Amino acid sequence: MRQPLIRRVSPGMRRAMPQTIQAPYGGINGVDALAGGMNPVDAIDLRNFICIDGGLETRAGYAIRNDLGTGAPVHFLHKMPAGDSSIAGSGGKLFSVAGGVTLLASGFTSDRWRCAVMNQRLMLVNGSDAPRTVYAGSVTATAWTGPADLTKLHRVRAHAKRLFFAEKGTASFWYTEAPGNIAGALKSFDLSGIGNRGGTLVDIATMAPDGGLGGDDDAIVFFMSSGEAIVYRGSNPDDAGNWGRVGVFQVARPVVAESHAGDVLTVSADGYSELSRVLPAGRSPVAGFGAKLGRIARRAVADFGHNPGWQVLYHPGQGLLLVHFPQTATSGQQHILNMATGAWSRWTDMPATTWGHIGDALCFGTSDGKICSYGANSDAGAPIVATAQAAWNVMGAPGHKKRIGLVKPYVTSMATPTVRHIIGVDFRAPVYGAAAGLTVADDTGIWDTSDWDHAVWAGAEKVTADFRGGGALGEWIGLGLRVDSQAGPVKWLATTMNVEFGG
């Protein structure tokens, strides 16, 4: 039997009820079901936003900082142990980058260097060229002896005041004969008979369970191509009394493994996780740092894990953990974790081939030999485009149709961004509202941010909330926002909608 959309006589149902939904500050949820499994403050997708307490904020933009002059991709960018300079690799050359650019060395086959710090020196290997040492503004060939072919050293880590090297295509690692050595004899240790599945040594990482390097519980981890992690404690593989095997563990072969805060952050076919969680669990699902990304992280590895250039990088300036995954030889995306809130988003539209720091500034290299700094108000003069889609929501009335009338996003900014609300219904592609520049009144400050008993100072962050048309009809509502801005960060706090509930 046909029924009217609006049951005007139904008890407990009201016409045009205002509903306020918070911005999806819980971050991207790649684990729970789209239909009813997610927290309302979670998101289907967050592009070019950062999750903050109680809201979302558009990421910063970028500006070209330096031109290396190579016209070739930058594949290495790393801070020197002392000072504010960094080392960049591009076009077969190594550069010192600070305020300007200084060429240090050239003639290299590969720019994909790996490094470790020992005695204030940056020790470099890349698996194609002989190792190099960077110190006091110069690059020198490191006088190692032992390996028949030094160019095969492709990983290096510092552990217990020694350097440990992985040799490409073998199951052996090499280590310095004495603590603190930065040249001289290297000794070999064969891992081929230690594990159960064989394979070659593909990466090395270090762990410090108490969070401090140099303790008695520090461990070194050798990742094999077979998917085994072989863990040792001790400082001297040549001394049985000072070198002991913790165990051999089955793990997914890492795409990248990076030591951070006493643990090892791994990216693999199983997703993103801390090694301390993976070792006792094996290939079983674990609640690691990337657990909430779930299938999204695994899909990124499945699609792009074969591409070189993956990175895990912590940016202390904003408390962000960045997972860079290259999609092509010249472009990629970043999964971004706010370490304080545990919420994920993703960044696009920045032409990054590698990330690093110069001083305290987050920077990246490009495919044409540029170094860009993160933190500008625009993307090299173009607007930053950020989009968000919140979790699908029945708004407290499962099984009932809802008609969305007027929509009012609550947005704060320093200037006048262009904002479009987004509404999706019943899991179909969302529809974008008309683009509109928000009108920012001179006297509208944010409570608890502005002075409550004074006029808002010029340049202060201001809140805007304008009604605009909705028009969607469905049972499941997916709310979102698009922001185009090139005048500083824009925050999305919440959205109020006029909703008619039907049968």
Which DSSP letter does residue 281 get? H
Residues 241 and 123 in one domain: yes
Q: How many Å apart are CA 444 and CA 428, to the nearest integer?
A: 36
- Mean pLDDT, each 10-residue run in order, the chain (503 residues): 43 70 97 93 98 97 98 98 96 98 99 98 98 97 98 98 98 97 98 93 92 73 96 96 95 94 94 90 77 96 98 98 96 97 98 98 99 98 97 92 91 88 90 63 44 40 76 91 93 94 82
Q: Let me know if residue 271 belongs to a domain.
A: no
Buried b (16+ CB within 10 A) or exposed e, 352-376: bbbbbbbeeebbbbbbbbbbbbbeb
DSSP, collapsed to helix, strand or coil, labels residue 278 as helix
Q: Are strands 144-145 and 184-190 parallel, antiparallel or unpaired?
A: parallel
Matching residue, tokens 């698009």 = 482
Predicted local distance difference test score (pLDDT) of residue 281: 77
Residues 146 and 213 in one domain: yes
DSSP, collapsed to helix, strand or coil, labels residue 270 as coil
Six-digit token pair at 90? 């591009």
Q: Are 404 and 496 in contact (CB under 8 A)?
A: no
Q: Let me know if residue 238 belongs to a domain.
A: yes
Nearest Cα neighbor of 402 from 423, 374, 373 is 423
Residues 395 and 474 in one domain: yes
Predicted local distance difference test score (pLDDT) of residue 116: 98
Q: Are 244 and 237 in contact (CB under 8 A)?
A: no
Q: How many Å apart are CA 183 and CA 439, to the nearest integer?
A: 64
Q: Are 177 and 184 in contact (CB under 8 A)?
A: yes
Residues 48 and 142 in one domain: no
Nearest Cα neighbor of 267 from 297, 222, 307 is 297
Six-digit token pair at 291? 């657990």
Neighbouring residues of 448: CB distance < 8 A, sequence distance ≥ 6? none
Neighbouring residues of 496: CB distance < 8 A, sequence distance ≥ 6? 18, 19, 20, 21, 407, 408, 410, 465
Matching residue, tokens 């997610």 = 38
The kind and range of the H/E element at 74 are: strand 74-79
Residues 141 and 245 in one domain: yes
Q: How many Å apart are CA 206 and CA 500, to the nearest integer?
A: 58
**Interior CA angle at 38 toward 32 and 41, to 5°?**
140
pTM, whole model, 2 decimals? 0.91
Q: Let me know if residue 141 belongs to a domain.
A: yes
Q: Which domain holds residue 185?
A: 113-250
Q: Are 223 and 203 in contact (CB under 8 A)?
A: yes
Q: How many Å apart are CA 324 and CA 310, to the nearest integer?
A: 5
Q: How many Å apart are CA 498 and CA 165, to the nearest integer?
A: 63
Q: How many Å apart are CA 462 and CA 464, to the nearest integer?
A: 7
Q: Let me know if residue 93 belongs to a domain.
A: no
Q: How many Å apart are CA 472 and CA 433, to the nearest integer?
A: 11
Predicted local distance difference test score (pLDDT) of residue 463: 79
Which DSSP letter does residue 435 get? P
Q: Let me know if residue 41 belongs to a domain.
A: yes
Q: Are 162 and 242 in contact (CB under 8 A)?
A: no
Number of structural domains the chain divides into: 2
Q: Are 353 and 366 in contact (CB under 8 A)?
A: yes
Predicted local distance difference test score (pLDDT) of residue 461: 75
Residues 55 and 140 in one domain: no
Residues 118 and 55 in one domain: no
Matching residue, tokens 């060939």 = 141
Nearest Cα neighbor of 327 from 313, 357, 347 is 347
Q: Let me know if residue 22 belongs to a domain.
A: yes
Chain mean position to CA 68: 25
Matching residue, tokens 């190579």 = 70
Domain boundary among 187, 222, 250: 250
Q: Which amino acid is at 473?
A: L
Residues 121 and 224 in one domain: yes
Q: Let me know if residue 486 belongs to a domain.
A: yes
Predicted local distance difference test score (pLDDT) of residue 449: 41
Predicted local distance difference test score (pLDDT) of residue 9: 38
Predicted local distance difference test score (pLDDT) of residue 438: 54
Q: How many Å apart are CA 97 and CA 95, to the nearest integer?
A: 6
CA atoms within 13 A on the CB side of 111: 25
Residues 401 and 493 in one domain: yes
Q: Are 389 and 430 in contact (CB under 8 A)?
A: yes
- CATH classification at residue 28: 2.60.120
Residues 48 and 117 in one domain: no
Residues 129 and 213 in one domain: yes
Which DSSP letter does residue 455 get? P
- H-helix segments, 175-311: 275-281, 295-304
Residues 47 and 156 in one domain: no
Domain boundary among 205, 223, 250: 250
Q: Are strands 42-47 and 27-28 parallel, antiparallel or unpaired?
A: parallel
Q: Let me know if residue 56 belongs to a domain.
A: yes
User: Cα dihedral sign for 301, 303, 306, 307?
Assistant: negative
Domain boundary among 215, 230, 250: 250
